[in-house]
A and B are shown apart, each in its own frame.
Chain A
Amino acid sequence: MSGIFSGRAWGKIWMYRSTFLLGLVNTLETAFISLIIALSLGIIFGLMATSGRKSLKAISRVYVEVIQNTPILLQLCFLYYALAFSGHSPGILVTGFIALGVYTGAYMSEVIRAGIESIPKGQFEAAEAQGFGYFGRMYYIILPQSIKVILPPMVNTIVNMIKNTSCLYIVGGADLLSLTYSFVTGENTGGSYAPAYILCGALFFIMCFPLSTLASVWETSLKKRDRRTTVTNTEKNPEAGKEAV
């Protein structure tokens, strides 16, 4: 198994630990900046989708459908090569931020749209009747109620985004997985496949597992509370179930 028990291979990993640290930092950096881009795009397009205006809705729909139905790898390559061949390449990491941010933004937008749409229409009308403006209505009335519907799937989206940082590899990336791969295939460092992959996998697992567990535990507990407080059949009368949350 290519040195899974060999002390020398593990020693080599320890010697080149800065490579893995650099990869980890790059992956976290990519994930963090992409998350900010994705959240802003998600909020903008999510609000556009629920604004009730046909033109805004259509723009948001097109963005979500086009991005969700094509692979992230294709979008990344498209962006990278289009910029590179037209002579202004911004670097691999910056391309990664933009591509991942735009890709994840489409998923965020869907999550936010679903969250806002889960609030019964009466809430919007009541808020309007009380004299709230658009942002006041969203911030004080809708957001507190929809946040628990939004957060679990949003955390899942973030986990997928962290995993997707590995797609930087195709443009010669600098993320954790790409650096691990160039480490195990490198001329001076090569050979210690098993230890390097175990370390890389463990790092990814440590980043993603707490988040995905949080999301699923959260979701189950919300569902349970939902069932406890809902006496009437939710399917018979959808409004009753949602208001009782």
Chain B
Amino acid sequence: MQTLTNSLSMLGNPAIITFILQGVAFTLIISVVAVLISILFGAVLALCRNYCTSRKTKILKWIATVYIELFRNTPLLFWIFICLVFCPCPGFVDRPMFGLSSVNNKLLFKAAVALILYTSGVIAEIVRGGLNSVSHGQIEAGQSQGFHVVQTMWYIVLPQAFQAIIPTLLSQVITTIKDSSFLANVAVIELMARTKQILSAANRYNGTNAINVSDVFVLFGTAALIYFVINFALSLTVRGMQKKRSRHAVVRNAEA
């Protein structure tokens, strides 16, 4: 019991709390940025895989297909390791920023690139699902109105596709927040890595000069609670959205 109160006293330490909260901020920023860039990249991949079927553009279709299948069937950590070795790092990252050293920033950049590459593969499949849900008649109608291919995609197909997949994309944000914890493997500074760092130095903060089981429970419990609150809030949003949509669909069908 004594060790538990000692462990809990760590959470009263303002330095530790700010350290954890910064980790939360990094987790959220990394995930949101990764998802946003992946949506752009994933949409391009999905369009290539779905519509580049003419003889000239077939090569694009094959590249997109290989990319998507490759990234969907290998673990994220694998790509993180590869990016650490092979990913080139632009000069502007190589200096102290955001309160991190230049080494940490380079690490953060490379690991984030891996996360973006991996998430793009998943999001490409989600976008493709949305594209397939748009009926072929829409494309033909666009063409008959004199729309160029790019215009058909931009004004007619993509808006409908994205409207259909917004809930799925939001739940992909949840997955990405969870996946971003894999960055802790290479000591990128986000929530999971920071929790582990505090645990390894817990003997200095809890006043007992040793790391106890209660420290594990308190620290990982806090981290789990933070992850849970963020993700549960998001998944409730997704569920609310889906419920509203199915109700709308029923109403629309009833009216039709």
Contacts and interface: CB of A to CB of B under 8 A. Distances in A.
A204 B69 contact: no
B216 A166 contact: no
Interface stretch (A14-22, A47-55, A81-89, A137-145): A81-89
Contacts of B184: 73, 170
A177 interface: yes
Nearest to A162: B75
Interface in A116-163: 159, 163
A169 interface: yes
B178 A209 contact: no
A165 B178 CA distance: 15
B227 A71 contact: yes
A86 B81 CA distance: 32
B239 to A, nearest CB: 11
B73 A212 contact: yes
A204 B75 contact: yes
Contact of A167 (B182, B217, B235): B182
B6 interface: no
Contact of A208 (B74, B81, B196): B74
B256 to A, nearest CB: 9
Interface string B174-215: 100111011011000000100110010000000000011101
B220 interface: yes
A61 to B, nearest CB: 12
A82 B253 contact: no
Given A71-B181, A73-B192, A236-B253, A177 B73 contact: no
Given A74-B181, A200-B78, A82 B213 contact: yes
Contacts of B224: 70, 74-75, 78
B75 A170 contact: no
Given A85-B213, A170-B184, A197-B82, A70 B231 contact: yes
B82 A81 contact: no
Contact of B73 (A66, A74, A170, A204): A204
A113 B249 CA distance: 23
Q: Which of A71, A170, A177, A235 has the most CB of B within 10 A?
A: A71
B223 interface: yes
Contacts of B220: 74, 77-78, 81-82
A163 B195 CA distance: 24
A235 B249 contact: yes
Interface of A: 1-2, 65-66, 68-75, 77-78, 81-82, 85-86, 159, 163-167, 169-170, 177, 180-181, 193, 197, 200-201, 204-205, 208-209, 212, 233, 235-236
27 contacts: A68-B235, A69-B231, A70-B224, A71-B178, A71-B181, A73-B182, A73-B192, A74-B195, A74-B220, A77-B196, A77-B220, A78-B220, A78-B224, A82-B220, A164-B75, A166-B75, A166-B77, A167-B182, A177-B81, A181-B81, A197-B81, A201-B70, A201-B74, A205-B73, A235-B249, A235-B253, A236-B254
Given A73-B181, A163-B73, A212-B73, 7 more contacts: A2-B85, A77-B196, A163-B75, A166-B75, A166-B78, A177-B78, A209-B69
